[in-house]
Amino acid sequence: MYRLDRNIGIAHNHETDPYKDYWQKQTLEDRLKAANYLNSVAYNFPLENPPSMDRTFFAMRKNG
């Protein structure tokens, strides 16, 4: 399982990122799993039960 290291406080750009090589070696599936985990931590929802999109929030208009 992934763990969020909250002790890291240095901002990096894409050229000097020390984790760039690590993440480029990971498979697309592993990167998406990590991104999903970080979203669940940031928005406080369980990994097994992500929130569904509220489709009533958006309205569609017909052109013409």
Angle subtended at Cα 39 by Cα 54 and Cα 12, rounded to the nearest 5 degrees: 135
- Identify which has the larger pLDDT, 1 or 52: 52
pLDDT digits (tens, 9 = 90+) for 3-47: 777 766 666 677 777 778 888 899 999 999 999 999 999 999 998
Band of residue 60 on the pLDDT scale cut at 50, 70, 90: confident
**Amino acid present at 51:** P
User: Where do the domains of the chain lie?
Assistant: 19-46
The residue-averaged pLDDT of 58-62 equals: 75
The Cα–Cα gap between 46 and 37 comes to 9
Select from 28, 50, 40 the least CA-distant residue to 1: 40
**Amino acid present at 6:** R
